[in-house]
Structure 1
Amino acid sequence: MEITPMIRTEIDRYLKQHGISLTEFGHIIELNVGTVSGIVTGNKSISVNQLDRITLGMNLPPDHFYERYVEECIKEPSLNWRKVKPFLYRCIELGRLDCLQRVVSMLLDNTMAIHISSLFELAEDLFQKGYKDAAVYLYENVAESERKQHAERLAICQYRLFTIRIGKDQTQNLQTAARFEPFIDRLDEIDQLDALKDLANVYRSLSMWDKVYKFSRQMYKLGQIQYDLAQYGKQEIKPGQKLSRPLFVYIAYAELLCAHACDATGDHERALEHIRGYTDLSWVREQDPDTLHWLGLFQRWAQINTYINRLMTGDVSVLSDYVEHISGEKHVFNELLNIIEAANKYNIDVDHILRHFEPKIESYQEPSPIEPFLLQQQARFWYKMAKYSFNKERHAYGFKCLIDALEKAVTINNVLLIANCVGLFLHFKTHAAPGVQTRFQSMFEEVWERNDKKDGFNLSDS
C-alpha cells in the first residue's frame, strides 16, 4: 500500500527539487523564515491560512492538502475550535463538504457541549450567507445530537431544515411539513409567528385546508398576544431577533388564510366573517411607511375577496364589478382563476372576459421559476380552462390548456391534479387528434416512471 507523505514532507521535497531556500520560499508566500522552518521541521502547527499560502506558492490546487490537513492538524485530542472554524469555512468556500463532514464527525464524537453550540452557530451563519447544503448537514447533525432534548435549539434546526427543503415537489413538501410540525411549539414565540405563517402557506400550496385553518388560528391567537404585549412594552425580543413583517400583519394574514380555507371548502358564510376580520384594521396603532403599505394591501385584498366570496356563492351580479376592479391590476392570474371556477360551477359564459384579458392569459403560458403555490394555481387555472373549453366544444384549445395543466402539475408532483388531468383527458379522448393522444401518452408514461417506486399519494386539492 502506497504511503501518502505528510504535508511538511511534501513541502520539503518541493523546495529541494526546485532549489528554493526557506528564506526565498518565505518571501514568495509572504511568511517569515522562522514560520516556514517551523512548519517544515514539524516544530510548529500550521493554520489553514498558512496552508493556503504554501499551496499557492507550490502552484497546487487550493484544497490539495485538505484531506491530509484533517488527519495531521485537525485530528487532535483538544480539537481547538479557533483552529477548526477557519478550516471549515475554507472547506465550504471550496466545495469540500467531504472534509467538512469528516471534521464535524470528529467534533461530535468528542461529545463536548461547546462543540454542539459552535456547530449550531456556524450553521446559522452559513444559512444566512446562502450555503444551504453545508447548513443542512450541520443542522441535521446538531438536531441528531439533541434529539432527546426539548431545547429551543433543536426546534430552530428543524425550522431551518423545513425552510431549506421546501421546493417545487409537493409530495416532498408534505413530508417536510409533517416532519416539522411537532417542533413548532418549541420555538420562541416570536419565531413561532413566522414559522406558523410558513407552515400554513405550505399547507395552502397543498390545498390541505384543515391544516391551513388550524395553523392560521394559532398564528392569529399568538399574534394578538404579542401585539398586546408590544403595546404595553412587555414584549421580549432577543438580540438579533426580528420579525419578517410588522406584528399586526400576522393577525390580519391569519384571517385572510382562514377565509381562503373556508371559501375553498364551501363554507362561504364563515369565510365572509374572516374577511371582515381583516377589512377593519382600525385597531392598528402604528403609522410608519411599512405599516401603511401593508394596510393598503389588506384593504385591496379585502375588497377583491369580498367579490370572490359572493361570486362563489352564485351571486353573478358582482361579476362586472369584479372585472372592472381587477382590470387595472398588473397581475390578475388568481382573479381569472376565480372567474373560470365560477363559470364552470354555475355554467356562466365568460368568453367576453377572457377576450378582454387575452394578452395576459397568453403570458401565463410562458414558463417561469415561481414558488410552488403559484405553480399549483397555474396548473389549476389551465385545468379549469380546459374544462370550460371542452364544455364550449372548443376541443383543440381545451387539449392545449390540458397539456399546460399536466406539465405544471408534473413539475410540482401534485398527484391529485395529475389524476384530474388524466381523468379529464380520458373523458374527452375521442375528440383528441392522433398527435395529441400521442403527446398525452408520452406524458402519462413519464409520470408513471417517476412515481412507480413510491408507495402512494396523500395530497389533496380543492
Structure 2
Amino acid sequence: MVFILEGGVSLEPTTTIRDHLENYLKREQMSISLFSETSGINSGTLSNILNKNRPIAMQQLDRITSAMRLEEGHFYELYIDECFVHAAPDWRRLGPFLHRCAELDKLNCIEDVIRLMMDNLSYIPLLFDLAEEFYHAGKFKPAILLYETIAESEKMQHSERLALCQYRLFRLGLTNDQQRNLIIAAQFEYYVDRLDERYQLDALNELINAFASLHRWSKVQELSDKLKVKATIHYELNGRRKQEETKRPIIFYIMYAYLASGSASFHLNNYEIALKYVSLYSDYSWVREPDADEMIVINQFQEWAEGNRYIYKLMAGQFDVLPEYLKYISTKENEIFPALCDIVTAANRYDMNIDYVLKQYESYFTYQEQSNRIGKVSKQVTDDRYVRLLAGLGTYYLKKDEFFKGLNFVLDSLRFSLEISDGRGMLRGVGLFEQYRDYASDTAIQQYKTLISEVQKLNEEKAGFADSYM
C-alpha cells in the first residue's frame, strides 16, 4: 500500500495495480497458476509482477484487466502513475499505451501522459509520428491532442513539423461554426508557406475555400494568385503530378486558382473581369497530352465555365439567358443547387419573376451535401450557399407580399445562421424579419424571439472564445 500524507493527515491509501490483483486472487481464492490459465500470462511472469521484480507491460495489463472481468482500460489511470510518474517513461510502454488509449477513446489519459513527456524534447518526433498515424487512421481526437502539444512545444522553432501540425489542426478544426473558422483560417495562413511543398497546393486550395465561405474576397484573390504561381511553377518543372504529392492533378490547382479569382471578382461585382477568368480556366490548350485523370479535371472546369458564363450574365442583368441556363442545368444534377442560389439572388436584384423555376426545383430548398465529378464540395462553401438561398427565398416571397412563406424562409435562414455561427447571416435575417414584422403571425414572432435569445447567448459565448485566442 502507498499512503499519501498531506499536512500531516493520513489519507486513504492509494492501491497499486498489484494490490488490486493480489486482493482479487485472495477474494476469489484463485492460485497464480489458475489466473495464468485465465489471463494467458506465464505464471512465472505473474509472480515477478506481484513481487515487483518486473514492470507490467501494456498487453499484460489488458489481459489482467480482462481476466479480472473489469472494463477495458479500468487501470489506465493507475498505470500512468506507476509507469510514467514514479518511473522513467519508456517509449516501449508509452507507444502501446497511447495506442490503446486512442482505441478506447480515453483522451484524458492521453492528455496526462503527453503532459508528462513534454519535459523531454526527444519524444517530440515519436509523438509526431504517432499523431500522423492516428490522423491517417481517422482517429482525429487523439491526433488533435498530440498536434496541439507538439505545436505548443515547437512554437518558437519555425520548423516544417510545426507547420504540418498547424495544417492538420486547421483541417481538423473546421466546423460549421463560421466565426471559429475565421480564427482558425487566419491562424493557419501564417504557416502555409512553411509547409513542405508537397502539402502547399492542397493547403492553399483549402484556405481559399475557407475564406470564400466567409466572404473574404480580397483574401481569396490574394491566395488564388499565390496558388496559381506555385502550381504553374510546379507544372513547368515537374509536369504531371506524382501520386503521393497532391490530392489532384497539378492542372487542377492552376485552373482552380483562376476559378477562385473569377469568383472573387464576381462577388465584388466585377463581372467583366470575372468573365475573363472564365476564359482562362476553360482553356486547356497548354496542358501537355492530358491523361484520363487530367481529362476529368478539364471536363469539370469546362462545365463550370459554361455555367458561370450564364450566371455572370444573369447578375449583370441579362435575364434573356435564363431559359438557356435552365436547359443547361436540367441535365446536370450537381449544378442545380449552386445555380438556384445565384438565380434567386439575380431575381431579387432585378425584381424578376422566377416562380416557375422555384416550383420546378422546390426539392432543392432542403440542405444536401454537394459533390461533383472531382470530389466533395467543401461543407463550409455549401453551408454559406444554403444560408444565402434561404435568405434569398425569404426576400423573394416578401417582395411578392407572400408574407407567411417569406417570413418562414427568413426564420429558417436565421436558424441555420445560428447553427453555423454566421454573423452576416444573422444580421440579414434579423433585418428582414424586423422590416416585415407587422405581417408576422403570433407563432412566427414567438419563434423569432426564441431565435433572438439564442443569438444573444451565442454572442456571449463567442466573446469568451475570441478572448481565449488573444
Residue 357 of structure 2 corresponds to residue 353 of structure 1: yes
Structure 2 partner of 1:364: 365
Matched pairs, number: 448
Task: Write out per-residue CA displacement over residues 118-156 of structure 1, whole angstroms, 9 at most, x where no aligned residue.
Answer: 111111111112222211111111011111111100000
Describe the SS at the equivalent of 1:64: coil
What percentage of aligned pairs have identical amino acids? Answer: 36
Q: Which runs of 5+ in 2 are unaligned?
A: 1-10, 371-377
Structure 1 position 85 matched with structure 2 position 90: no
In structure 1, distance between residues paired with 2:73 and 2:293: 47
Match of 2:423 among 395, 409, 415: 415
Alignment match, 2:6:
none
What is the TM-score of this pair, normalised by structure 1? 0.92
Task: Give the whole-Å Cα distance in 2 for the aligned partners of 1:103 and 1:455.
Answer: 32
Separation in structure 2 between the aligned mates of residue 439 and residue 78 of structure 1, nearest angstrom:
60
* Matched residue, 2:260: 257
State the AA in 1 paired with 2:95. Answer: K
Q: Do residues 112 (structure 1) and 121 (structure 2) align?
A: yes
Give, in whole Å, the separation in 1 of the partners of 2:394 and 2:464.
27
The code of the aligned residue for 1:213 comes to Q
Q: CA deviation at 1:166?
A: 0.4
Contact persistence 1:116–1:142 (CA under 8 A)? yes
- Tell me the equivalent position of 1:72: 82
TM-superposed CA distance for 1:364, in Å, is: 2.2
Shift of 1:454: 4.2
1:140 aligns with 2:141: no
Deviation at 1:88, TM superposition (A): 0.9
Calculate the aligned-residue CA RMSD, in Å. Answer: 2.2
How many Å separate the matches in 2 of 1:456 and 1:33?
Answer: 56
Task: Return the alpha-carbon distance in structure 2 between the equivalents of residues 278 and 367 of structure 1.
Answer: 27
Aligned match of 1:154: 162
Counterpart selection for 2:107 from 97, 102, 105: 97
Q: Which amino acid aligns with 2:144?
A: V
The change in CA–CA distance for 1:220 and 1:378 in structure 2 (over 3 A counts) is same
Does structure 2 conserve the Cα–Cα contact (< 8 Å) formed by 1:48 and 1:87? Answer: yes
Q: By how many angstroms is 1:90 displaced?
A: 0.9
Shift of 1:78: 4.3
Where in structure 2 are the equivalents of 1:262-411 lying within 5 Å? 262-331=265-334, 332-355=336-359, 357=360, 360-365=361-366, 371-411=379-419
Establish whether residue 447 from structure 1 lines up as the match of residue 451 from structure 2.
no
Q: Is the 8 A contact 1:203 1:212 kept in 2?
A: yes
Q: 1:365, 1:404 within 8 Å by CA — same for their partners in 2?
A: no
More off after superposition, 311-320 vs 42-51:
311-320
CA deviations on 1:162-221 (whole Å, 9 max, x unpaired) are 111100010010011111111111001220101100111000111111111111111111
* Superposed displacement of residue 96, structure 1: 1.9
In structure 1, how many angstroms separate the alpha carbons of the residues matched to 2:130 and 2:146?
A: 8
**CA–CA separation in structure 1 for the residues paired with 2:369 and 2:293:** 29
> For residues 86 and 99 of structure 2, what CA distance do their matches in structure 1 show?
19
* Structure 1 unaligned blocks of 5 or more: none
Find the residue that maps to 2:333 and give its secondary structure: coil
SS in 2 for 1:307: helix
2:34 maps to amino acid: E
Compute the displacement of 1:48 (Å). Answer: 0.6
Instruction: Tell me the equivalent position of 1:189.
Output: 197
CA contact (8 A) 2:365 2:390 kept: no
On the 8 A contact 1:415/1:457 being kept in 2, the answer is no
For 2:439, the equivalent position in structure 1 comes to: 431
1:43 to 42, 53, 57: 53
Structure 2: distance between partners of 1:442 and 1:140: 37
Instruction: Name whichever of 174-183 and 15-24 sits farther off.
Output: 15-24
Q: How far, CA to CA, are the matches of 2:328 and 2:63 in structure 1?
A: 65
Contact 2:39 2:63 in 1 (8 A): yes
